[in-house]
Structure 1
Amino acid sequence: MKKIKYCCKNLKNGSKKVYKSLKNEFPEIKQKKKDCLGSCKLCSKQCFVLIGKSEVIVAPSADVLYKKLKHRIG
Structure 2
Amino acid sequence: MNRVTKIEVCTNNLFLGTKHVCNQVADNYPDIEVTEWECLGYCHLCYRQPAVLINDTEYVQTDKPEELWKLVQEQIEKRNTKL
For Structure 1 versus Structure 2, the TM-score category normalised by the shorter chain is: over 0.9
Aligned equivalents of 2:19 and 2:56: distance in 1?
A: 20
Conserved in 1, the CA contact under 8 Å of 2:8 and 2:56?
no
Matched, 1:58 2:61: yes
2: CA distance, partners of 1:8 / 1:16: 9
Alpha-carbon offset, residue 2 of structure 1: 2.6
**Gaps in structure 1 of 5+ consecutive residues:** none
The answer as to 2:19 corresponding to 1:16 is yes
2:12 counterpart SS class: helix
TM-score normalised by length of structure 2: 0.83
Q: Measure, in 2, the Cα distance between the counterparts of 1:53 and 1:71.
A: 18
In the TM superposition, what whole-angstrom CA distance separates every residue of 1:32-55 from its partner, at most 9, and x where no partner exists? 110001111211111111112221
- Structure having the higher Rg: 2
Which residue of the partner structure matches residue 32 of structure 2? 29
Hey, which of these two has a bigger chunk of helix by percent?
A: 1
Q: Distance in 1 between matches of 2:57 and 2:23?
A: 23
Correspondence 1:44 to 2:47 = yes
Question: What secondary structure sits across from 2:17 in the alignment?
Answer: helix
Would you say how many aligned residue pairs link Structure 1 and Structure 2? 74
Unaligned runs of 5+ in 2: 78-83
Amino acid aligned to 2:29? F
Secondary structure at the counterpart of residue 36 of structure 1: coil
Query: Is 1:5–2:29 an aligned residue pair?
Result: no
TM-score normalised according to structure 1 size: 0.92
For the aligned residue pairs, the C-alpha RMSD in angstroms reads 0.9
